[in-house]
Chains A and B, each alone.
Chain A
Amino acid sequence: MTHRREWIYAWLLLSPALVLLFAFTHIPAISTIWDSFFSTPRGIRPSKFVGLENYEKLLMDDTFWQVFWNSIWYAVVTIPVSVALALLMAIWVDGKLSGRSFVRLAYFAPTVLPLIAVANIWMFFYTPGFGLIDQISGALGYPSVNWLGNPELALGSIMVVSIWKEAGFFMIFYLAALQSIPPVLREAAAIEGASRWTFFRRVTFPLLMPTTLFVSINAVINSFRMVDHVFVMTEGGPNNASSLLLFYIYETAFKFWDTAYASTLTVVLLVLLSVIALGQFLLLDKRVHYR
């Protein structure tokens, strides 16, 4: 009987959190999949089962493919660069360095600022003719460049902002991991006459593997989730050149009000996230040395 009472007690404690968790995460995730097989209700026409029609539309949708590859490129470039920079920053800030606290402050500051606000500042940098980048390159004799208006450059310009925003955040995790490495190891390596590079490659880097796994999974999730700067800087343009999947979902659902198609796009995003996160876990897990 006491067991039964314990169960009821535990369920009561859990229920408020579980109700909200199911209501806003699990049930929506499942109904997204369900809705992707139906048409969007319009006016008096209710939604009806259409099978794979939305998915057929998806495969034929040139905009979708462009946005899809944009998102992949965005992830492929921003994740390794920001993680590598984060590691470099952490090593610098962890070591002996004059003015260390200022340097750490500078690296970390972008993390606490709203992405939507820093996008405004970056906008100003990129403005052709007037912006800071053009002023500098103009002084050096280079022609003016329309960074956000050129389809070739818009996505890259967006990437720079997200690398700038993310690297300092990931640095913190590396810093925590570096500080937990026992100093004895470094002393032992010094006695053995190992160079700094050898020490990093053979000792530090392998010990940081669990952090790298954690940081890179976070980076994947963030790269598909954070699209605020797209709203301010380009609105996905020119011609969807800098549009990302979540931004396209937003446009489809809340500008064109095609909710069924937006659900279909969300399914793609969910599948993409799961596949990448799982793949990363399996790939990196083999090389992770747990302590």
Chain B
Amino acid sequence: MLAAPSLVRAQGAGSIKIGEINSYTAQPAFLKPYRQGWELALEQVNAGGGVLGRKIETIFRDDAGKPEDAVRHAGDLINAEKVDLLSGGFLSNVGLALTDFALQNKRLYAASEPLSDALVWAKGNRYTFRLRPSTYMQAAMLVEEAAKLKARKWALVAPNYEYGQSSIKWFKELLKKARPDVEFVAEQYPALGRIDAGATVQALEASKPEAIFNVTFAVDLTNLVRQGNTRGLFEGRDVVSMLTGEPEYLDPLGAETPTGWIVTGYPHADLATPEHVKFRDAYKAKYNDYPRLGSVVGFDTMNSIAAALAKAGTTDNEKLIDAMEGLKFPSAFGSAEYRAIDHQSTLGAFVGKTALKDGKGVMVDWRYADGAKYLPSDDVVKTMRPAG
């Protein structure tokens, strides 16, 4: 404890800098709320005196959805701006590029949003931590519900890129394990953002499934739902759907929202835990808008970094990483932890059903699925993570 004041002096009294790289212009629907959530947390942390007696400062950079631009910003941020650590990433490939950059440059990278399993497992490394529940975790949460359904014949639809493909892979693998009697009768992989909804709906319909697992989101989801509603694809069928309960994707559906879908998401209006109410009130007061899931991710990422800094007592990245392994941090969903074994946080998601209320889509019958319960056993994780 005696060393602390001299440590602060040695690091200089300037602010702690975080370089935050994200696809702000390419994915504004998620990332505008994200940035607002981040700035809210930043304001709160700094209002409380910052961490280690220093204010935190964020330098935001837009990667335009390109991994190579993200890497350029990362290099510029650590060399020119002298940031202490990196954060951000929305697309999985941007996240992976930053993961590898972090390893090469021995710099902490707090990945907030990218869902790819590879980020913490196959390509995981000492320098990368990830906040969001991964593709595996969200698929596992939904499989738990899907296994309870009577349906045996499943049709699958997912955007044609890594997130979509690995969601399907895990869903099939885990569901088959829980229910050996299921079969998968159709798979559709529309190009991301370019779904030919009418034709896709018809192709799914033709396989006469009893249930549908959907991974499409954003505009693909909207178009799929409209065509599916008109053509009766969802009538009399169970639908299980990734991310659909997130306000970012649920709100554009409006009165078109299909009811009774089993989804992962975020019931922002009804979640009444004290942490969340506090967060939501502060968010509403600052932005005069309700929070989206992106807001929570931004808010939590910032807060988890502040918690790590406070615990480490230094910005030295190696010590910061040691502090972050097993770190418990406050979240708008309650408390969560960065696992020491694979640097995945245990932040969960809400699983519930979609419903219509006053012409808008909402989630009902939801429960919080704690991320810690939807991860493979430690032995399995170790085999999947060569970095250890």
Do they bind each other?
A: no
Which residues of B does A touch, CB under 8 Å? none
Which residues of A does B touch, CB under 8 Å? none
